[in-house]
Amino acid sequence: MASNRKPAPWQRKLRALLQKPAALPILAAVCGLIIVAIAAIVVWFTVLGGKSSTSGSSWSEPASDASYDATADKVDVEAYKGTVLPETEDAGQEYLDETLFLGDSNTVRYMVYGPEGSEDSYTTIDNNIGVVSMGVQQITSLKCENFVGRSSAVTMPAAVEIMQPRRVIIGFGTNNLTMSVDTFIEEYKEGLAAIHEAYPYADIIVNAIPPLDKQRSNTALSMKQVDAFNSAIVEMCEEEGYKYLDSSQALEDPETGWAKTDYTLSDGVHLSQKGVRALFEYIQTHAYITEDTRPKPLNKVPEVQGVTPNLITSDPIAVRGENGQTSTKVPVEFVCSEGGSLSGATSQMVAKGGTCSTVTAVPDEGWVFAGWGASIGSTGGSGESLTFTVPGDADANGVIITAYFEQEEAEPTETPEPTASPEPTAEPSPTPSATSAPTPTQAPATPVPATPVPATPAPTPAPATPAPTAAPTPAPTAPPAPTEPPAPTEAPVNSVPEVTVPDNSTPANAAPAPEETGSEAATAG
């Protein structure tokens, strides 16, 4: 039985809309918007989910961070004006080469990074002693530096004496943030005194502890601790006569007090490439150069072998997870040389033995990808896209992976050879007779008028005056005769003795002038 129920008003409107010609484009547009919205949601969750799984970004702010005052415990530069290094002109690479850098894992990174556009790092093993996970309490006791010809490693103070630097920049404290401030300063004083005693000719500069990123892996560490330690360090430098490098000014956000964005790795502790570059720009523009009082000549420095690898197996802070829980994740940073960029997550926190998310090297125009390099582990024969597996023996310093690019070789262009200037060629001359002097060059034959000339009596022959001979035959190399006949010219006078000719006679060798007419010729005869 058919229903007599009438359609609702919205149904009638929909049916009317669908019957209009514009209905199909409108429906297509609506469907397109729905598809785009779904795709955006999928991408959103995919990207965030991938980042969270590799970088440990499931971070929540500790309650103590909310009460952090970015200006409360910062170093008072004015109060320590004679101790805090002021801004100077850029001292350049020479200043760095004369400096020995001592410190922890952040110091190690100075040997990995370099200025933008340069393949050279800021420091090398010849002026860098950085030990991963090391603290100030180990300065006098840990035998870490190796030299060729020595059977065992030596401590940092002993290494300073051997290497005889003009100055020392030392940076410890990140691995000591769980200590009390007083204990930390006492340990630091002892270590610095040992260095000064071993080699009193080197200026000692103490670097600030770098700021943490707010979204750090180990939330047991705080910027309150960092600020308190740095304030105590500058006071110690004032008392002991050392200089203080307030590099926090270059690394921290002045408004928040935390590290600037992207100046640390995903763990929020170790300096990234961007952070190290900012640090060294600050070092070079806050230089401390005094008179060189080192005894001359300097002793010969034995070949440096560097720090014993994996010297400290326990990590005080860097690989601890959220809320102090133990974690096996280490920071992995992807960087690139000049000539390209990277696509993907360039800073990741990955478990030892785990796999990083894929990162792709993208060369700039005119450049080509040249390969990958890793501070530890192997990148294999990967192409431009790399999915790296973190070695099981990675430590708190993590892994640094570098993409290298090189310029494309330009197509060789043929350089035209210079054309030699033509040498002037001597004009050919008629071949002279073997038995006579050279005959003067004869003029071209003069056309003779068609009017006949009557014969005339021969004149009395001149003594020994030979009649002119025919023009000599030119050599085969003579140029061809001109295509146009030259204008009539007077015949040249031969170089013969002058002959007196009677008025009524015509010399045999005289050619009639072209302007004479026939009647004039007859009269002359």
Question: Quick one: pLDDT at residue 456?
Answer: 47
pLDDT at 20 exceeding the cut of 70: no
The pair phi, psi for residue 261, each rounded to 5°, is: -60, 130
Q: Length of the chain in residues, anyone?
A: 525
Is 97 a domain residue? yes
User: Confidence class of residue 29 from pLDDT cuts 50, 70 and 90?
Assistant: confident
CA dihedral 462, 464, 468, 474 (to 10 degrees): -160
Question: Quick one: pLDDT at residue 19?
Answer: 66
Question: Quick one: pLDDT at residue 259?
Answer: 97
Same domain, 251 and 374: no
Is 510 a domain residue? no
pLDDT at 326 exceeding the cut of 80: no
Is 502 a domain residue? no
H or E stretch covering 99: strand 99-103
Question: Quick one: pLDDT at residue 319?
Answer: 46
H or E stretch covering 18: helix 9-18
pLDDT at 324 exceeding the cut of 60: no
Q: What is the average pLDDT value for the chain, to the nearest integer?
A: 78
pTM of the model: 0.64
Range of the domain at 361: 328-408
Q: One-letter amino acid identity for 325?
A: Q
Average pLDDT (305-329) is: 69
User: Confidence class of residue 190 from pLDDT cuts 50, 70 and 90?
Assistant: very high
The rounded distance, in Å, linking the Cα atoms of 251 and 15 is 65
Q: Which of 362, 383, 408 marks a domain boundary?
A: 408
Same domain, 368 and 240: no
Average pLDDT (197-217) is: 96
- 406 and 367 in contact (C-beta within 8 Å)? yes
The rounded distance, in Å, linking the Cα atoms of 490 and 492 is 6
Is 8 a domain residue? no
Average pLDDT (478-501) is: 47
Q: Which of 19-33, 38-52, 118-132, 374-388 has the lowest mean pLDDT?
A: 38-52
Average pLDDT (173-191) is: 96
The rounded distance, in Å, linking the Cα atoms of 119 and 112 is 10
Same domain, 309 and 352: no
CATH number at residue 160: 3.40.50.1110
The sign of the torsion formed by the CA atoms of 54, 60, 65, 70 equals: positive
Same domain, 214 and 289: yes
The rounded distance, in Å, linking the Cα atoms of 133 and 126 is 21
More confident residue, 516 or 346: 346
The rounded distance, in Å, linking the Cα atoms of 234 and 206 is 8
Question: Quick one: pLDDT at residue 354?
Answer: 87
Q: Which of 136-140, 199-203, 301-305, 377-381 has the lowest mean pLDDT?
A: 377-381
Cα Rg of the chain (Å, integer): 49
Same domain, 350 and 310: no
The pair phi, psi for residue 287, each rounded to 5°, is: -80, 155
Is 259 a domain residue? yes
- Using CA atoms, how far residue 396 sits from 273, 308, 312, 313, 330, in Å, is 16, 16, 10, 9, 6
pLDDT one-digit tens code per residue, 138-181: 999 999 999 999 999 999 999 999 999 999 999 999 999 999 99
Average pLDDT (474-501) is: 47
Same domain, 258 and 340: no
Number of H helices, E strands in the chain: 11, 14
Is 339 a domain residue? yes
Question: What DSSP character marks residue 120?
Answer: S
Question: Quick one: pLDDT at residue 468?
Answer: 46
pLDDT at 521 exceeding the cut of 90: no
Question: Quick one: pLDDT at residue 413?
Answer: 61
Question: Quick one: pLDDT at residue 137?
Answer: 97
Rounded percentage of the chain residues whose pLDDT exceeds 90: 45
Q: Which of 384, 408, 432 marks a domain boundary?
A: 408
pLDDT at 484 exceeding the cut of 80: no
Same domain, 346 and 243: no
Question: Quick one: pLDDT at residue 339?
Answer: 86
Question: Quick one: pLDDT at residue 58?
Answer: 57
pLDDT at 383 exceeding the cut of 70: yes
Q: One-letter amino acid identity for 311?
A: L
Question: Quick one: pLDDT at residue 64?
Answer: 82
Q: Which of 127-141, 205-219, 248-262, 417-431 has the lowest mean pLDDT?
A: 417-431
- Of 35-49, 206-220, 285-299, the range with the highest mean pLDDT is 285-299
pLDDT at 241 exceeding the cut of 80: yes
User: Confidence class of residue 63 from pLDDT cuts 50, 70 and 90?
Assistant: confident
The rounded distance, in Å, linking the Cα atoms of 92 and 105 is 24
Residue 83 CB contacts under 8 Å (≥ 6 apart), including other chains: 234, 237, 238, 242, 243, 244
CATH number at residue 355: 3.10.20
The rounded distance, in Å, linking the Cα atoms of 358 and 343 is 9
User: Confidence class of residue 506 from pLDDT cuts 50, 70 and 90?
Assistant: very low
Rounded percentage of the chain residues whose pLDDT exceeds 70: 67
pLDDT at 216 exceeding the cut of 50: yes
Please tell me the total count of domains within the chain.
2
More confident residue, 56 or 273: 273
Residue 195 CB contacts under 8 Å (≥ 6 apart), including other chains: 102, 139, 156, 157, 160, 168, 170, 202, 204
pLDDT one-digit tens code per residue, 433-442: 444 444 444 4
Q: Which of 268, 286, 314 marks a domain boundary?
A: 314
